[in-house]
Homo-oligomer: A and B are copies of this chain.
């Protein structure tokens, strides 16, 4: 905000009952994280190269070129200012535009780190770190996505030349979707079926050079291009998701990533002693980032909708006074505040996932693999439910802004368009929940055999209790007790999983049963994952959280999140008998009074995200609430307003108006 400019939301900020600066620290994770984030946000916001208000007006080509410009400039600043990796990643975050660098740093480098041998890492990583090569992650094909084992691209070992021949045998085997592939990447980690001596050895990664480092032309045998426009106007269209065909492209043998499986000079295929489970580590890492991103996208949408709901007034004017702020309507609150609570919930669960990753990494180093399937199922499930909820929530926030939410400059349409693929990439959300369900059913089936469930499934060890316990909620107050809430969620989740297991047992063929009951299984998996989010939120509150009133607010938000989920999935809770209808009604009463408690803190709770106006890029979500004059000014910038009489008037409007119609039947 400019110094001295009026703050139309000052009144809202005064009613806050907690210390916003302390909440910022809690949201950011640490004072250090807040400081870095704040500094990088300002760095980006103050640099004219990074302006983004013109995004939706650019043509595809201009948009893309502008992204190249930003990426180059960001890199320049990162190098000049000698930024740390943490700082650099915040810069990319605040530049806030999908770009080839996301895949280079986020997938290409990690793939080499995770799947390359020491030698390979030493050769390729320095080049990648200095961006002397630019890489992408080329797995998906036109005809094959979720089922990686179904990929058609082949990598055939040629013992004569000590090379692999990478080939696209069919149209459907064309690589399709990899970000950064279409126009920028010089290299790819491409996935292909390994064929040695006529034998197939599954799908593996290969480093393939795509373009000349001299003139950027595709190398012989490589056909590469962009796959075209995607959802939205700006959004993901700044990314060159690409198509790629290999016509018998030869690469040296040592460009197969060989950490797990090796092909020797002689054409022997050798399993290395590195455990395959290692890949779980990378997956936990990547999905943790996605959950963190969910909390960012969601909090951003909620920030916009909350501020605008405090600015927007509609109905209820008394004696010619101002109308009611729409944030005061209970319907608005019951749609908006659960999303605010979800943003905090996802934030803390992503924080916990970070620690899970550290834990998993340590265990891997110690050669302990037993808890990995649980960690893997848990991250898969959390990725699924947080991204689905966030996608829906962004659109709900847009609707909460009424007509003006439909304007591109509300920031919400493009946020939605750029966010939704998170439900699909890194595992389709339904496919992921099916994986979780498989794990849960297995866990349940092993309960009898004395196998103790670990981590987030530990509660299943108390199956005997949970299957028959009754909630002793007697008043709306009782629902503020985390233990009571958690037990209801545990009972619901356990009973759904057990019911699935029982129904599965009725099928002679378990796979057939799994296929038939898939929809129920997905619901059971979601219930389990919601329990995790609720639990981790409550666990966070066990910690020391400094700052006046901060913990109190988080307690309210944690209850809102839990009771909102309970209300939304009331059918589950009632049909499993985990709570009674009366208790459900009490939860709803409690929820209503919690909304009233949030109300005076709402704007401060979104201020705590510490987003700059640049990052928000929303006229409706402006920090100062000065919405209407800005909307009005912005309108005139549309190219359509270049002239008062539109281009096309002479050809298409005037003739219409001047036409003499004689014989129409209208």
Known pairs A82-B663, A575-B581 / 16 extra A-B pairs, C-beta < 8 Å: A59-B639, A69-B652, A72-B652, A72-B656, A84-B665, A130-B661, A131-B657, A131-B659, A142-B631, A143-B628, A216-B649, A331-B430, A333-B519, A399-B423, A406-B420, A575-B585
Q: Is A317 an interface position by the 8 A CB rule? A: yes
Q: Is the Cβ of B65 less than 8 Å from the Cβ of A648?
A: yes
21 A-B pairs whose Cβ atoms sit less than 8 Å apart in the complex? A57-B229, A64-B640, A64-B648, A68-B646, A69-B648, A69-B652, A71-B656, A79-B663, A132-B658, A142-B628, A145-B403, A150-B315, A213-B657, A216-B653, A227-B407, A231-B417, A333-B519, A391-B395, A399-B420, A576-B581, A577-B581
What is the CB-to-nearest-CB distance from A608 to chain B, in angstroms, rounded to a whole number?
25
Q: Is A629 an interface position by the 8 A CB rule? A: yes
Q: Is A644 an interface position by the 8 A CB rule? A: yes
Q: Is the Cβ of A61 less than 8 Å from the Cβ of B640?
A: yes
Residue of B nearest to A329 (CB): B518
Contact surface of A with B, Cβ cutoff 8 Å: 56-57, 59-61, 64-65, 68-69, 71-72, 75, 78-79, 82-85, 88, 129-134, 140, 142-147, 150, 171-172, 174, 176-177, 182-184, 186, 213, 215-218, 224-233, 236-237, 240, 243, 313-315, 317, 323, 329-335, 391, 395, 398-399, 402-403, 405-409, 413, 417, 420-421, 423-425, 428-430, 434, 515-520, 522, 567, 569-577, 581, 584-585, 588, 592, 628-629, 631-632, 634-642, 644-649, 651-659, 661, 663-666
The docked-state distance in angstroms from the alpha carbon of A57 to that of B226 is 14
Q: Is the Cβ of A637 less than 8 Å from the Cβ of B399?
A: no
Pick the contact of A69: B335, B519, B651 (CB < 8 A): B651
With contact pairs A314-B146, A664-B79 given, residues A407 and B647 touching in the complex (Cβ less than 8 Å): no
Q: Is the Cβ of B403 less than 8 Å from the Cβ of A413?
A: no
Q: Is the Cβ of B131 less than 8 Å from the Cβ of A656?
A: yes
Q: Is the Cβ of B72 less than 8 Å from the Cβ of A653?
A: yes
With contact pairs A65-B647, A134-B656, A425-B403 given, residues A639 and B60 touching in the complex (Cβ less than 8 Å): yes
Q: Which residues of B contact A581 (CB under 8 A)?
A: 574-577
Q: Which residues of B contact A64 (CB under 8 A)?
A: 640, 646-648
Pick the contact of A403: B177, B225, B317 (CB < 8 A): B177
Q: Which 5 A-B pairs have the closest CB atoms?
A: A570-B571, A231-B413, A334-B519, A68-B652, A229-B408
Residue of B nearest to A661 (CB): B130
Q: Is the Cβ of A640 less than 8 Å from the Cβ of B60?
A: yes
Residue of B nearest to A519 (CB): B334
What is the CB-to-nearest-CB distance from A381 to chain B, in angstroms, rounded to a whole number?
15
Residue of B nearest to A579 (CB): B575
With contact pairs A68-B653, A639-B61 given, residues A217 and B645 touching in the complex (Cβ less than 8 Å): yes
The docked-state distance in angstroms from the alpha carbon of A334 to that of B588 is 29
With contact pairs A130-B661, A407-B230 given, residues A145 and B182 touching in the complex (Cβ less than 8 Å): no
The docked-state distance in angstroms from the alpha carbon of A144 to that of B174 is 52
Q: Which residues of B contact A666 (CB under 8 A)?
A: 78, 83-85, 88, 129
Q: Is the Cβ of B228 less than 8 Å from the Cβ of A409?
A: yes
The docked-state distance in angstroms from the alpha carbon of A176 to that of B228 is 34
Q: Is the Cβ of B314 less than 8 Å from the Cβ of A150?
A: yes
The docked-state distance in angstroms from the alpha carbon of A72 to that of B658 is 12
The docked-state distance in angstroms from the alpha carbon of A629 to that of B174 is 11
Pick the contact of A648: B68, B147, B642, B644 (CB < 8 A): B68
Q: Which residues of B contact A146 (CB under 8 A)?
A: 314-315, 402
Pick the contact of A217: B61, B84, B636, B644 (CB < 8 A): B644
Residue of B nearest to A421 (CB): B406
Pick the contact of A314: B147, B520, B632, B651 (CB < 8 A): B147
Pick the contact of A240: B213, B572, B629, B640 (CB < 8 A): B640
Q: Which residues of B contact A423 (CB under 8 A)?
A: 399
The docked-state distance in angstroms from the alpha carbon of A634 to that of B424 is 22
What is the CB-to-nearest-CB distance from A641 to chain B, in angstroms, rounded to a whole number?
5
The docked-state distance in angstroms from the alpha carbon of A512 to that of B658 is 57
The docked-state distance in angstroms from the alpha carbon of A451 to that of B79 is 79
Residue of B nearest to A399 (CB): B423
Q: Which residues of B contact A430 (CB under 8 A)?
A: 331-332, 335
Q: Is the Cβ of A638 less than 8 Å from the Cβ of B228?
A: yes
Pick the contact of A657: B132, B408, B585 (CB < 8 A): B132
Residue of B nearest to A56 (CB): B229
Q: Which residues of B contact A635 (CB under 8 A)?
A: 225-228, 243
Q: Which residues of B contact A237 (CB under 8 A)?
A: 233
With contact pairs A575-B574, A666-B129 given, residues A515 and B329 touching in the complex (Cβ less than 8 Å): yes
The docked-state distance in angstroms from the alpha carbon of A215 to that of B654 is 8
Q: Is the Cβ of A174 less than 8 Å from the Cβ of B632?
A: yes
Q: Is the Cβ of B628 less than 8 Å from the Cβ of A172?
A: yes
The docked-state distance in angstroms from the alpha carbon of A295 to that of B176 is 33
Most buried by B among A515, A631, A642: A631
With contact pairs A61-B639, A131-B656, A571-B569 given, residues A140 and B226 touching in the complex (Cβ less than 8 Å): no
Pick the contact of A636: B225, B413, B629, B651 (CB < 8 A): B225
What is the CB-to-nearest-CB distance from A523 to chain B, in angstroms, rounded to a whole number?
10
Q: Which residues of B contact A638 (CB under 8 A)?
A: 60, 225-229
Q: Which residues of B contact A657 (CB under 8 A)?
A: 131-134, 186, 213
Q: Which residues of B contact A518 (CB under 8 A)?
A: 329-331, 334
Q: Which residues of B contact A71 (CB under 8 A)?
A: 652, 656
What is the CB-to-nearest-CB distance from A484 to chain B, in angstroms, rounded to a whole number?
19
